[in-house]
Amino acid sequence: MKVFKNFTITNKPFEKWRFYVVYGVIFIALLALLIQLAYLQLVDADKLIAEGNKRSLRYQNVYVPRAMILDRNERALAVSVPMYDVWADPKIVKQAGGVDVSDIKWQELAKSVSLSVDELEHKLDQPKLRFVPLSKQISPTQADYLKALKLSGINFNKTSKRFYPLGSSVAQLIGLTNVDNGIESGVEGIEKSYNELLIGEAGQRVIRRDRFGRVIEKIQHIDGEAANDLVLSIDERLQSLIFSELDLAVKFNKADSGTAVLIDINTGEVLAMVTNPSYNPNNRSRIDSSLLRNRAVTDAFEPGSTVKPLVVMAALEKKIADLNTIIDTRPFYLNHYEVKDVSYQKALNLAGILEKSSNVGVSKLALKMRPEDLVEFYSRFGLGQSTGLGIGGESSGSISANRTKWLDIERATYAFGYGLMVTPLQLARAYATIGNYGIYKPISILKVTEPVEGKRVVSESIAKTVIKLMEAVAVTGGGVKASVPDYSVAVKTGTAKKLGPNGKYINEYIAYTAGIAPASKPRYSLVVIIDNPKAGQYYGGTVSAPVFSRIMSGVLRTMNIAPDRKQDSKQINY
């Protein structure tokens, strides 16, 4: 039998210190927790909020269309067409179940982005990535169709694509754009030179997404500010007309290229600037990079006989000769080189020198001046100087402004267009100055709305005299084929040998015709250049002069300029 002992339970005294220790620990823990909460709420709140926002907030640019480029009559030359880029977030796609190759929706998406559904699945099976581009610049109609599929992780960014209604006829002048991160930027021509004026200021949209990529909050929306449309001085009717004529001329003459520039004499506005051959700016995949440059501003040539009217002006101003002066134009030698004319003339007055395009005549006029005098005279008309038009890649050319030593043969050839380099645009500006009766005005590629002040560089009487002499060139002289039925024109043709890569002349030529019309009251300056014609003829009077005639005839009629002479007029009195 088990015996139980009696136990006596004794009450121990209450130990307060244990109570205080336990409650003290609890109090300190609570206090520490409160301090931490206060720190997080008051001191470190911004950092924590920023960390949270980094995970959930998304900043999106609000699309602002690139401004249009318009001609002077507000016809579109370049316009941005809305497009969309398609991209995927593989992490969201994975969270939503991934690509289901048997699902018609995924099959339609794959088809729209030119992938097989298996290729699409493989491409999006990268959950660590958050951005995978699928297709660029699809149409709004295509984008709406794909949006309607409501596939998780498939997103759309609004962008645009540049469209050029006139295509090839304005390609080198207007240029091209590239799209980077949905924003168009100019890379050639006016698109590049005036890019800052065309892009405007993009807006911004701030949204919050959950972990599945769904928008759960729209926080902020700032509208962008579109740029104003850029209105050029170009007249698309004249640009198209000149491009068509130049295209025919280049093909007919089997030339390397052709260039033409048309300027409004009264305002200095460039009404047309054409280079041929050209390219289709709306088909980027087939653009030949060698055709990108705008030859009217990038290419400098020796201008040949087109500078002879300036030499005659200089001679009149310095009283070296007058209209009654007779110049011996028989061939002669300078520094063992013969100076002669294409057609032999025993003696000519100033009118005859221009009419027959006498190298001997202008050489003898130049030899009576100091070399620096003729250099300075060319400079007055803007030769060898940038036009300041704002088109990238412009060549300033050269007129040997700092040269100190001149051989006599160099002084002579300088008078008929060798030893200096000018661009087609500079030459057109010089002839516009002649047509403005000696007033030099800055030229502009933007539409001019206010009167433009100019600077007189030669007297009105001398300018009018030389214009009258140039009229005869188109009636009985070497520029007969540049004449325009029912209108008076003042022209000068020219032919220059080309320089080869080694700096020596080669057996290739440039044919020029430069002039103004109507000669009785000049409105337009036109320069036509045909580079290296290979169809048998190469003189300016036979190659570029007919092109000048067809272009100027079309310009005068398009602009409703009243005829100022009868078609059967043969002789100009001076």
Report helix, strand or coil for 541.
Answer: coil
3-state DSSP percent of the chain in helix, strand and coil, to 5: 35, 25, 40
Report helix, strand or coil for 556.
Answer: helix
How many residues make up the chain in this entry? 574
CB neighbour list of residue 249: distance below 8 Å, 6 or more residues apart: 255, 258, 528, 530, 543, 544, 546, 547
Q: Are 366 and 412 in contact (CB under 8 A)?
A: yes
Q: Cis omega (within 30 of 0) on the bond before 424?
A: no
Tokens of 473: 């060139």
Hey, which bits of 434-480 come out as E strands? 439-440, 455-456
**Does the annotation mark 305 as catalytic?**
yes
Q: How far apart (Å, rounded) are the C-alpha atoms in residues 154 and 124?
A: 10
Tokens of 503: 């700096």
Q: How far apart (Å, rounded) are the C-alpha atoms in residues 509 and 504?
A: 13
| Residue 108 neighbours by CB distance under 10 Å | 16
Q: How far apart (Å, rounded) are the C-alpha atoms in residues 560 and 552?
A: 12
CB neighbour list of residue 399: distance below 8 Å, 6 or more residues apart: 375, 378, 379, 383, 384, 420, 421, 422
| Cα-to-chain-centroid distance, residue 215 | 42
Tokens of 408: 């006599």
Q: How far apart (Å, rounded) are the C-alpha atoms in residues 568 and 457?
A: 35
Q: Are 523 and 561 in contact (CB under 8 A)?
A: yes
Nearest to 201 by CA among 67, 111, 393: 67
Residue type, position 140, single letter:
P
Strand partners, 163: 79
Q: Are 548 and 542 in contact (CB under 8 A)?
A: no
> Which member of 278, 305, 444, 488 is catalytic?
305
Q: How far apart (Å, rounded) are the C-alpha atoms in residues 264 and 390?
A: 18
Place of tokens 């001046």: 369
| Cα-to-chain-centroid distance, residue 463 | 34
CB neighbour list of residue 53: distance below 8 Å, 6 or more residues apart: none
Residue type, position 197, single letter:
L
Q: How far apart (Å, rounded) are the C-alpha atoms in residues 359 and 409?
A: 12
Active-site residue list: 305
